Chains A and B, each alone.
Chain A
C-alpha cells in the first residue's frame, strides 16, 4: 500500500504557484520523498526527490518539514502544460515504487 496521503484534486490559476501537499507520517529515517507526474496517458515523469533538506531543480521545489512527516511540491509558475496527476512516493534503496492515486492538478487559464 502507498505510504502517502494526497488530496484527490487541486486547481491552480495559470502563472501562479501550485503547491501540492503530501503527508507521509510513517516515513522512516532512510526513506526518500519522490515526486512524479503523469500527463494524460503517458508514462510518469520524474520531477524531484529529497531526504531531509529542501531541494530545487529546473522543474520544481520540494519543501520537507523538519519532522519529515509531510512535504510540499511547488511549481513556481504553473502553465497549462503542468496539468497532470502528481504522485508523492516514499521509497528506500531496494524497495519497489508503489504509486497511489496522486493529486489531479488542473491549471486553469
Chain B
C-alpha cells in the first residue's frame, strides 16, 4: 500500500563523512517528515516539510539538514557524521488536508564508526 522508499536500508560509515539519506514517495503527498529512533526508544520528529521549498525543524534538535526541491523527494544530509548520529532514520508522508494518515518508509539504520 505504501509507496514511500528509503535508501540505503543500512549504512555503516566513518566519522567525518558526508552522507545523504534518500526518501521518495510516489503518492503526490505534500507533507513529508523525518523521524529519528534509537533502539527501543520513542520516535522523535527532526524535520518536516509541507511542500516544495518548505522545510522546518522538528521537536528534537538535529545537526542534519533537509531539502524539498521536488514534491516526491525529501533527502536528509549530515555534513560530517559522528558516532552520536548512529540511529534509525524514518521517513514518512501524508496527504494532509484533513486526511492525516501517515505512511512510513522502511527506515535507514545508520552506524557511524
Residues of A within 8 A of B (CB): 32, 34, 36, 41-46, 49, 91, 93-102
Contacts and interface: CB of A to CB of B under 8 A. Distances in A.
Given A32-B100, A97-B100, A41 B39 contact: yes
A93 B50 CA distance: 13
A42 B107 contact: yes
A101 B102 contact: no
Given A36-B102, A41-B88, 18 more contacts: A41-B39, A42-B104, A43-B90, A43-B106, A44-B102, A45-B104, A46-B101, A49-B101, A91-B100, A93-B97, A93-B100, A95-B100, A96-B45, A96-B59, A98-B59, A99-B35, A99-B43, A101-B42
Contacts, number: 53
Contact of B102 (A32, A94, A97, A102): A97
A49 to B, nearest CB: 7
Interface in B68-113: 88, 90-92, 96-98, 100-107, 109
Given A98-B59, A99-B43, A43 B104 contact: yes
Interface string B8-40: 000000000000000000000000010100010
B51 interface: no
A42 B105 CA distance: 8
Contact of B107 (A32, A43, A93): A43
A43 B105 contact: yes
Contacts of A41: 39, 88, 107, 109
26 contacts: A34-B100, A34-B101, A36-B102, A41-B88, A42-B104, A43-B90, A43-B91, A43-B105, A43-B106, A44-B43, A44-B90, A44-B104, A45-B104, A46-B101, A46-B102, A93-B97, A93-B100, A95-B100, A96-B33, A96-B48, A96-B59, A97-B100, A97-B102, A99-B35, A101-B42, A102-B42
